[in-house]
Amino acid sequence: MQCYNHDDQNAVGLCKACGKGLCHDCAADLGHGLACKGVHEDKVTSLNQITTKSAEIYNAAPKNALIAPLFVLAMGAIFIGSGFYYGIGRSTLSTTMGVLFAVYGLVMLVRNRALYGKDRS
């Protein structure tokens, strides 16, 4: 493949913004891709920023997936705790709620961990 601007030069890569072939003289290496020097540098820089941001969001997702189950488990612990505090016989509802929350939290935790493992492999 030849450079878009220089027929006698071999292209070293493609501009990330317009996809044209670029030789060493025409290419601006922006770390995560090439850009037409002086033409698409700004555009490719912002494209790279978007890519980096979405990668950060993706990496943060598994951690967020663990927060919800832990919150539900904490709710369960509070309900069970208050159930014991007031006496099981007198606050069966609270204890039942606590057990339901705890089971739901555990199921969410196991399911989210399975998803997390699948993403990783």
Q: Shortest gap between Cβ of 22 and Zn ion (angstroms)?
A: 6
Rounded Cα–Cα distance for residues 108 and 102 (Å)? 10
- Does the protein bind Zn ion through residue 6 (CB under 5 A)? yes
Binding test (CB under 5 A) with Zn ion, winner from 12, 13, 18, 100: 18
Asked if residues 30 and 44 have their Cβ atoms less than 8 Å apart, the reply is yes
- Does the protein bind Zn ion through residue 3 (CB under 5 A)? yes
> Token pair 């027929």 is at which residue?
7
Per CB under 5 A, which region of 36-44, 59-67, 76-84, 102-110 contacts Zn ion?
A: 36-44
Identify residue 63 by its one-letter amino acid code.
K
Taking every pair of C-alpha atoms in the chain, what is the biggest distance, in angstroms? 89
- Return the residues of window 73-102 that contact Zn ion according to CB under 5 A: none
- Does the protein bind Zn ion through residue 26 (CB under 5 A)? yes
Rounded Cα–Cα distance for residues 45 and 6 (Å)? 24
Residues of the shown chain interacting with Zn ion in the complex, contacts defined by CB under 5 A = 3, 5-6, 9, 15, 17-18, 23, 25-26, 36, 40
